[in-house]
Structures are given as C-alpha cells and as structure tokens.
C-alpha cells in the first residue's frame, strides 16, 4: 500500500532539512522525484544523490514566491514525465522577532513563502491533477499553526492559514479524486537549526513542552509523508496529521 513505484513527486525546498529527507524516502519507496529549491546547483547535487537509489530525479530551480517560476516548474515536470502524482509543499521561511519589532518586509517574506507560495504551487499542480483526475497534495504546516508561541507571529499566522487552506482545497478537489492533507511537525532538529535548538535557553523552553522530552528528528516525519502520498491514504483528505512528541495533546 505504501509503494510509490513510478509515481512522480514534486518536493519544494528539498535540498536541505526535512525536504531532503522526504525526497530520499519517496525515492526509496519507488517514486521519481523533482528536486526544487532556488539554487540550481543545490538541486543538481541532490538529484545526483537520489539517482544512486536507481530512480530518476529532475532538478528544477524555482522560487515559490514567483508565479511565473511555479508555472514553468509545472510545465517542465509535465513535459518530462507526462504527469504529476504528488506535491509536497515543504518550502518555508521563519523569523524570530518580537511582535512590536516586525517590519512589513519581515511579514511579507514569511507569508509569501509559507502561505502564498503553498497556495500557488498547489493551484498550479492542482490544475494538472484535475486533468488527470488524481493526485496527492501534502502541505507542511506546523504545530505553531495549532498553538501559539512567542516571537514567531508571522510563522504562526502562515501555518494556521496552511491548515485552513488544506481543508478548503480538500473540499473543492475531492470530486477530482485529489486528496489534500497537512503534516504538522513539532520542533525538528536539522543541520540548519541545530545550533539554535542546542542553545540551552531555547532547548529548555522547547523540551519542557514536549511530553516525550526530546526534539523530533527528520526520520520521525518521513514515514507519515510516504503514507499520505500512497494509496494507503486514498480515503484521507482535509486532515492534519500532528507529529510532535505529544506537545499539542495537553
């Protein structure tokens, strides 16, 4: 049921962190993956690594805040593979700043990537999926779309919006056999945030809120993504799957 053989999956923000782990997991499950980030050299590097698993990987540089770039991405993928089975909206941005100090540029940067970019990627890919009468869209939200936290206001707003967007798209596109779901990770340690999360003050603030008393790891997230991308999740849509060590259970 979790076999993704010959499926075509686009993963935005897939050269680092959780996105990098996702493309590797999808490839191991049999999918052909499209590596997307703003830097073509990074995309090429990861694509070559993925090809070692014996599956094709297409590297495409694209900025998810640029509608023309999104349209070109979809065009390249459909011309190369002839279809798009899976979209993982993983690209994201965040800023740590007190609410009273947030500038217009700060607000726009986070919301443009984390909310606007997610919708327009889903829209562009969704148009192709409607033609195909099938597809899976998985939006990376966050527990901070469900609960608040200090000094991350634009991120909380954007992720809350992603959860509501997931529900609305699921309702609209159910008749086209397109399933739209969201994954809400807790705090996940990656090479990009390791230094911050290992700061004693930050680490203690986070750990005391997690009943399992540990940070999440990339490997904790990828099984859920493969499940939601597979036929095992054919009757699941409009849902938010939370993987947070128990944070939101209290």
- Extract long-range pairs of 170-175: CB within 8 Å, 24+ residues apart: 170/237, 170/238, 170/239, 171/238, 173/126, 173/129, 173/130, 174/237, 174/238
Q: Is 155 a catalytic residue?
A: yes
Judge whether 65 and 89 are in contact, CB under 8 Å.
Answer: no
Residues written for the chain: 250
Tell me how far the alpha carbon of residue 111 is from its chain's centroid.
Answer: 15
The residue assigned the tokens 């459909």 is 78
- Residue 63 makes CB contacts below 8 A (sequence gap 6+) with 38, 69
- Residue 51 makes CB contacts below 8 A (sequence gap 6+) with 57
Tokens representing 6 are 């010959």
Q: What is the DSSP string of 94-156?
A: -----GGG--HHHHHHHHIIIIIHHHHHHHHHHHHHHHHT-EEEEEE--GGGTS--TT-HHHH
- From the list 80, 81, 155, 235, the catalytic residue is 155
Describe the strand order of the beta sheet including 32-37 as a list of residue ranges. 57-61, 32-37, 8-12, 86-89, 135-140, 178-185, 240-243
Active site residues: 155
């Amino acid at each position: 049921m979790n076999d993704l053989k010959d499926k075509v999956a686009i993963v935005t923000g897939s050269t680092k962190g959780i996105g990098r782990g996702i493309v590797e997991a999808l490839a191991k499950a049999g999918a052909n993956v499209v590596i997307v980030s703003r830097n073509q050299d990074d995309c090429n590097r990861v694509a070559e690594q993925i090809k070692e698993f014996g599956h094709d990987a297409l590297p495409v540089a694209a900025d998810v805040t640029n509608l023309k770039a999104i349209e070109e991405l979809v065009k390249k993928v459909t011309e190369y593979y002839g279809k798009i089975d899976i979209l993982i909206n993983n690209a994201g941005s965040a800023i740590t700043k007190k609410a009273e100090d947030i500038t217009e540029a700060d607000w726009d940067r986070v919301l443009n990537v984390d909310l606007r970019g997610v919708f327009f990627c889903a829209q562009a890919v969704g148009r192709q999926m409607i033609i195909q009468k099938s597809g899976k869209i998985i939006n990376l939200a966050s527990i901070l779309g469900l609960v608040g936290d200090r000094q991350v206001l634009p991120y909380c707003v954007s992720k809350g919006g992603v959860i509501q967007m997931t529900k609305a798209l699921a309702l609209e596109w159910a008749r086209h056999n397109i399933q739209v779901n969201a994954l809400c990770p807790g705090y996940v340690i990656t090479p990009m945030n390791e230094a911050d999360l290992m700061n004693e003050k930050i680490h203690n603030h986070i750990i005391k809120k997690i009943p399992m008393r540990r940070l999440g790891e990339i490997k904790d997230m990828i099984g859920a993504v493969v499940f939601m991308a597979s036929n095992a999740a054919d009757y699941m849509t409009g849902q938010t799957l939370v993987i947070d060590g128990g944070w939101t259970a209290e």
